[in-house]
Amino acid sequence: MSVDKKYHYNQLTDILHCDLDAFFASVEQMDNPSLRGKPVVVGGDMHSRGVVSTCSYEARKYGIRSAMPTAQAYRLCPQAVLLPVNMPRYLEVSKQVFAILNQYSPVMEIVSIDEAFLDISGCSGIFGSPEKIGYLIKKQVNTELGLTISVGISYNKFLAKLASDMDKPDGLRVIAPSQALDLLRPLPVSRIWGVGKKTQQNLEKLGLKTIGDIQILPPEWMEAKLGTTGRIFWELAHGIDNRELEPEHERKSMGREETFPEDIKDTAYLKKLIAQFAAELCRKLRKEDLNAASITIKIRYYDFKTITRRKTFPPCNSDITITQIANELLDQSYDGKKALRLFGLSLGNLSPSAGLEQGSLFDPQLTADHKRIDQLMDDIRERYGPRAINRANLLLDKEID
Ligand code: TTP
Ligand code: MG
C-alpha cells in the first residue's frame, strides 16, 4: 500500500536529533586521558548490586550494556575500568552541550541529559544546509568539549531520532522523505517509537515482526486491532509523525514547576505539591476570568529523562477538580519507583469563563459548593496574603516554597 502523497509533500529535513556517544563514560575519558581507548564502565558498585549506567564503546565489544548488573559487566570484561556515577560533572557538561546546540536554533527540546531536538527551519540561511548544520554542531562539540555527538536529521522527530542512532558513534545521518519507507521496511517493530517489549510481543502475535509487515496493512486494520495506538503505529511505520517540538520556555509559561533539592520518590509529597500548584494556578485563572480545559504534568527523572502527560476535560477553574485530575494523571504515569528531580503542572486550552458553567464533569451541587469555597478562599487570600488559608491537603510535613 502506498502512502497518501500529501504526507510527504514538500517536507523539509529540518528536525535534528543530537545524542552524545557513551555520554557518562566519554566525560570520564575526556577528563582522564589515560582512560581513552579503554573499556570504561560507569555505574553502581558491583558489591552492592549496582547496575551499569553506561560504558565506553570499547567496553560494548564485550557485550556490556546499560542497566546490566555491574558484577556481570566485570565478569564479561575483568580488565574494564569501573567508575562511580559523577552526576554533578555530567550535568555541567550537559549544560555546555545544550548551550552549543542552542547557538544553532532557538527552538530546542531537551529530552534527557544527553539528547535534544532542534528545529532548524529558518536557520539554514545563516548556517547552510541541515547536513552542514549537523556537521558544524559535531565539530564545535568536539573541539570545545572533546566529546563526540551523533546527529540525525529528518522531517520529523521519530525519524530524526532513528537517524541519530544509525551511525553511532560519531554519526551524521540524514533521512530524506523519499528514503523513509524503504529504510523503515526491514527494521523490527521494536524500532517504532513507543513499542516496548510487551507491545512488541503483542504485535508479533498478530504476525507483525517488521515495520514492513505494518506498511502493507490498511490503517483501519491496525486501528481495529489496537485502537488509536494502532493508528499511530501505522503512521510511524510510514514515517508520519506530526508531533511538534516542545521547547522549555513554552512549557513553563502556563504552569508551575519545582526542581527538588534532592531527588524524591514520595508520591504523597507530589500530591501535596499538585494541590498547591492547582490552588495557585486556579486562583490566577479566576482572577482573570478564565477556564482551563487541559492539564499537563511534567515528570523529570533523576537522569533528566522527561515525560509529559496531558488530559483534556470540560472547561473549569476549580482547585478541587484540577487537583483530582492531576492526581489521576500522576497515578497513571508514575509508580514511585524511579527518583524524580522535577515535577511540573501546567494548565492549557484557556478560554474566558464569564457566564459559562463549569461543565458536566461533576455533580452540579458539588460544583457550586466548590465554587463558593474557592471564592471564599480567594477573598481571604486577597485580604490577608496568599498563605493566609489553605485546604487541609496543603498542610505539609515538608514546606514547599
Ligand atoms: P544514552 O544516550 O541512552 O546512552 P549513552 O549516551 O551512554 O550511549 P549512546 O547514546 O552512544 O548509545 O544515555 C545517556 C546517559 O544516561 C548515559 O551515558 C548514562 C545514562 N543512563 C543511565 O544512567 N541508565 C540507563 O539505563 C541509560 C540507558 C542511560
Ligand atoms: Mg547518548
Residue 16 lies in a domain: yes
Count the Cβ atoms, other than its own, within 10 Å of residue 30: 14
31 and 145 housed in the same domain: yes
Of 153, 176, 199, at which residue does a domain stop?
176
CA distance 14 to 125: 12
Q: What is the pTM of this model?
A: 0.67
Q: Using an 8 Å Cβ cutoff, are 400 and 258 in contact?
A: yes
User: Distance from the CA of 150 to the center of ligand 1, in angstroms?
Assistant: 13
CATH of the domain at 351: 3.30.1490.100
213 and 316 housed in the same domain: no
Cα radius of gyration rounded to whole Å, the chain: 24
CA distance 117 to 76: 35
pLDDT value at residue 398 = 42
| Residue 286, CA distances (Å) to 117, 273, 310 in order | 36, 20, 21
Q: Which burial class, exposed, middle or buried, applies to 65 when counting CB atoms under 10 A from its CB (0-12, 13-18, 19+)?
A: middle
Q: Using an 8 Å Cβ cutoff, are 290 and 353 in contact?
A: yes
Phi and psi of 339, rounded to 5°? -70, 145
Tally of CA atoms within 13 A in the half-sphere of 175 that contains its CB: 29
Of 210, 237, 264, at which residue does a domain stop?
237
Phi and psi of 309, rounded to 5°? -130, 135
Pocket test for ligand 1, best of 30, 41, 53, 337 (most atoms within 8 A of CB): 53
Pocket test for ligand 1, best of 53, 54, 151 (most atoms within 8 A of CB): 54
14 and 125 housed in the same domain: yes
Residue 97 lies in a domain: no
Phi and psi of 296, rounded to 5°? -120, 130
User: Distance from the CA of 194 to the center of ligand 2, in angstroms?
Assistant: 18
Residue 94 lies in a domain: no
pLDDT tens, position by position, 254-294: 799 999 988 999 999 999 999 999 999 998 888 877 888 88
Residue 358 lies in a domain: yes
CA distance 39 to 65: 12
282 and 343 housed in the same domain: yes
pLDDT tens, position by position, 58-103: 999 999 999 999 999 999 999 999 999 998 899 899 989 999 999 9
Residue 25 lies in a domain: yes
Residue 336: domain span: 251-400
Phi and psi of 112, rounded to 5°? -155, -170
- Catalytic, out of 28, 58, 109, 115: 115
pLDDT tens, position by position, 323-359: 999 999 999 999 999 999 999 999 987 777 654 434 3
199 and 168 housed in the same domain: no
Q: Using an 8 Å Cβ cutoff, are 390 and 277 in contact?
A: no
CATH of the domain at 213: 1.10.150.20
Residue 214 lies in a domain: yes
Query: Can you say whether the dihedral through the CA atoms of 328, 333, 335, 339 is positive or negative?
Result: negative
| Residue 280, CA distances (Å) to 82, 284, 349, 385 in order | 47, 6, 17, 12
Is 113 close to ligand 1, i.e. is its CB under 6 Å away? yes
pLDDT tens, position by position, 150-201: 999 999 999 999 999 999 999 999 999 999 999 999 999 999 998 988 899 9
For the chain, give the percent of residues with pLDDT over 70.
83
Ligand lying closest to the C-alpha of residue 66: 1
CATH of the domain at 53: 3.40.1170.60
Is 21 close to ligand 1, i.e. is its CB under 6 Å away? yes
Amino acid at 7: Y
Residue 244 lies in a domain: no
Tally of CA atoms within 13 A in the half-sphere of 344 that contains its CB: 24
How do the residues of the chain divide into helix, strand and coil, expressed in percent and rounded to 5? Answer: 45, 20, 35
- How many distinct structural domains can be found in the chain? 3
Residue 98 lies in a domain: no
Question: Which residues are placed with Cβ below 5 angstroms of ligand 2, an ion?
Answer: 19-20, 23, 114
The C-alpha cell 558491583 sits at 46
136 and 229 housed in the same domain: no
pLDDT value at residue 10 = 46
135 and 201 housed in the same domain: no
304 and 190 housed in the same domain: no
127 and 269 housed in the same domain: no
167 and 24 housed in the same domain: yes
Is 19 close to ligand 1, i.e. is its CB under 6 Å away? yes
pLDDT value at residue 294 = 86
Element (H, E) at 380: helix 364-384
390 and 261 housed in the same domain: yes
Given phi > 0 = left and psi -120 to 50 = alpha, else beta, which region is 304? left
Q: Which three cell numbers stand for residue 43?
A: 555505574
pLDDT score of 246 more than 50: yes
115 flagged as catalytic: yes
Mean pLDDT of 8-26: 86
220 and 311 housed in the same domain: no
Of 136, 157, 176, at which residue does a domain stop?
176
